Amino acid sequence: MASLKKIARRSFLIGSAAIVGGVAFGTYKYHQPAPNPLDQKDGRAVLNPFVFVDQSGVTLIAPRAEMGQGVKSAWASLIAEELDVDPAKVTVLHGPAAKAYYNSAMMSEALPGRGYDGSALQHSLGEIVGHMAKFLDLQVTGGSSSMRDGFERMRHAGASARETLKQAAADQLGISRDQLTTEDGHVVAPDGTRLPYADLARTAANLTPIETDLRPASEWRLIGKDVPRIDMVAKVTGTAEFGVDVRLPGMKFAAIRQSPHFGVGKKNFDASAAETMPGVEKVLDLGDAVAVVASNTWLAQQAVDAIDVTWEAAPYPETTEAIFEEIARSFDATPNSTMRDDGNVDALPEGATVIEAEYRLPYLAHATMEPMNATALYSGDGLQIWAPNQGPTVVQKKAAALAGLDVDAVEVNTTYLGGGFGRRIETDYTDRAVQIAMQMQGTPVQLTWSREEDMRHDVYRPGAIARYRAAVKDGKAVMVHGKIAAQSTTVEGAGRMLGLPMSGPDKGHVDAAFNQPLAIPNFRVEGYLAKPMLPVGFWRSVGASFNGFFSDCIIDEMAHAAGRDPLEFRLELARAEWEPAAKVLETVRDMSGWTGKTPHGIGRGVAMAYSFGTPVAQVIEVADQDGQIRMTDAWIAADLGRVIDPKNTRAQMFGGMVYGLSAACFGEITIDGGAVEQENFPDYDALRMHTMPTVQVELLENQPRMGGAGEPGTPPAAPALANALFDLTGKRARQLPLMHEFDLLI
């Protein structure tokens, strides 16, 4: 953040950049562009806030949060592809909260339709609708959208910079621009003269940036190649600045206690013991919570734990069982959506075998390794925030409302994220830091939630129930009718994020259920919305995280009822619907050497899910080792249409699968007395090194459009493992986590 401070405040590009002169590029000019947050000073030409060239070199403003997914490196490669620079030499900074940084790809996902079968017209409509995000100030990182959002925007920015720098060189040399080439950060003349970009920046600032066509794929040097992560050195040396690393002059540290019962506050509290503890500077009443400001985080935490608080009672069912009874009652209401209704699910052919199954999945926490934290400095007429967040404009607007300030008076600085998974698109942790800072005017205060506070005050993946009725005849799938009930992440999570009431059919609620690329003649999926109880929000792959389990497990049960090989059964359905889905199944079949037969003591399961524009198939192998079940091998095949960085994309598929497997084996949030029972990682475990299977990943590029990478690896993980356990034990898992029914190696 120190480097960002040299060139950034509310107006962003001022200070040293204004002194040396430079030019900012970017030509994403579909329709009217959003207001540009970059200042135009000292003759510097500014079109768009993505690429800045000055005497220090090339800087990329990448306003997507880096939370381990490699967005900084991938976006640097995209501009470098057109600008002819080494990505390792590009300085990458996170942009400020600004309308110009809206996420168009994420917005376009809201359009109705299955996704995989969209026409060119529907795709174009999605691009148009995507630009509505600028009116909602939707500068967020999520939905596996960063590469789809930046793929053309960043290349256009790099191409514009290249041609404008060439024009500056042409004017200086007295020759035409088309006689010049670019190489390694230089403009090269026919006689071999090399002019560094940095030396041309001041001249280029006086030119109107030039728009030009993008290079064809045949000329790409970086896209599709493994590129070293530009943040790796900082991370392995401990110099990368995460939220908890922020240090400011005179900074104090805070800890917080919030009600264990969601949506209510406290009756009274006694802080007398905390007030006398060493290092304590102030005990704060936040209305529905208490906080302590001290000289370090540990002392603040010890003191806040010493406060005696009487909390108000929970306004929702106080046990897990009662909450799931409420979810089940949702089936008695009219469905919120019927996003797929092919054929007639009520008219079965004579002699069909019918399968009925109810699946139940728990609420889940995000469990990021870096707990929730934020640093805030309130001056009375302004507010600065430093936070690992996924939505700077969302943070900015919520903070401004809390502090009674104009939005422009709030500056948001985004650090590295020690895990996001959708948790840090929320603003509860930044809002709390603002509340504290307002009572500590003029003093920067860093608030860090304890692990226990983090685990017990999450916005959870909703618990869900699915009731399926399916039928097969003569080895064929003839009918699937799924009913899915859960709290709505769209109504609750998106409603909080956008500050708007969310209504209408909830597509996300049934994602990876209604839009699976399987040719089943009679196919209906209905979504039922449970009333708000526990706070729910976006969890890696969102609705697909539970629907992937529901929709694939019923297919596996159908395959076995039909007496068919489970992989071949899926492959037949996929071939008739969408070829890229069939290809990932064929690939994972060949990778794993799938034969449909496993020796004694070995089980194999397959699963396939389409989500966020990407079909992913996985095969998982398990083994009985002295009575305990261990995962031995896993194979993943995914078709993203276009792979920007294969190594990084393979890591995303691997990580998504691990996240899903950890939840499948151990993840659950349970309620007793209205409070979350889990407090820390011993209560909410994850896969360890010795329990991880060996993993192979294959990436395909058969589909015509780019899909997402960060989330699609999660939905197939749980069903693939559950199906493998069935192959091994003959016991069908219809409820997670698996640790309750199977003796898993831990």
- CATH code, domain carrying 444: 3.30.365.10
Nearest to 329 by CA among 535, 543, 529, 470: 529
pLDDT at 5: 37
Which residue reads 């490196």 in tokens? 73
Q: What's the domain count of the chain?
A: 3
Same-domain check for residues 147 and 177:
yes
pLDDT at 32: 44
Mean pLDDT, to the nearest integer, of 248-260?
A: 98
Same-domain check for residues 591 and 671:
yes
508 in a structural domain: yes
Residue 41's alpha-carbon distances to 38, 61, 98, 168, 170, in angstroms, are: 9, 18, 19, 18, 24
Same-domain check for residues 198 and 98:
yes
Asked if pLDDT for residue 261 goes beyond 50, the answer is yes
pLDDT digits (tens, 9 = 90+) for 364-407: 999 999 999 999 999 999 999 999 999 999 999 999 999 999 99
pLDDT digits (tens, 9 = 90+) for 185-229: 999 999 999 999 999 988 888 888 899 999 999 999 999 999 999
The span from the first CA to the last CA of the chain, in angstroms, equals: 40
Q: Cα–Cα distance between 272 and 251 in angstroms, integer?
A: 24
pLDDT at 9: 31
User: Where are any strands of DSSP class E within 488-613?
Assistant: 522-530, 602-611
Same-domain check for residues 575 and 608:
yes
Same-domain check for residues 278 and 357:
no
Q: Which of 192, 207, 237 is the last residue of a domain?
A: 237
pLDDT at 112: 79
Query: Based on the number of CB atoms within 10 Å of its own CB, is 380 exposed (0-12), middle (13-18) or buried (19 or more)?
Result: exposed
pLDDT at 131: 66
Q: How confident is the model at residue 2 (pLDDT cuts 50, 70, 90)?
A: very low
Mean pLDDT, to the nearest integer, of 36-55?
A: 57
pTM, full prediction: 0.93
pLDDT digits (tens, 9 = 90+) for 712-735: 999 999 999 999 999 999 999 999
Same-domain check for residues 378 and 280:
yes
Q: Which of 416, 448, 480 is the last residue of a domain?
A: 448
Same-domain check for residues 428 and 485:
no
Q: Which of 192, 213, 237 is the last residue of a domain?
A: 237
536 in a structural domain: yes
20 in a structural domain: no
Same-domain check for residues 150 and 283:
no
616 in a structural domain: yes
Residue 373's alpha-carbon distances to 246, 260, 470, in angstroms, are: 10, 19, 47
5 in a structural domain: no
Q: Note down the domain range covering 412.
A: 243-314+372-448
Beta bridge partners of 361: 464
Asked if pLDDT for residue 40 goes beyond 50, the answer is no
Asked if pLDDT for residue 8 goes beyond 80, the answer is no
Beta bridge partners of 268: 310
Same-domain check for residues 406 and 281:
yes
pLDDT digits (tens, 9 = 90+) for 262-291: 999 999 999 999 999 999 999 999 999 999
Same-domain check for residues 414 and 344:
no
pLDDT digits (tens, 9 = 90+) for 316-371: 999 999 999 999 999 999 999 999 999 999 999 999 999 999 999 999 999 999 99
329 in a structural domain: yes
123 in a structural domain: no
383 in a structural domain: yes
Same-domain check for residues 287 and 177:
no
pLDDT at 414: 97
Same-domain check for residues 276 and 383:
yes
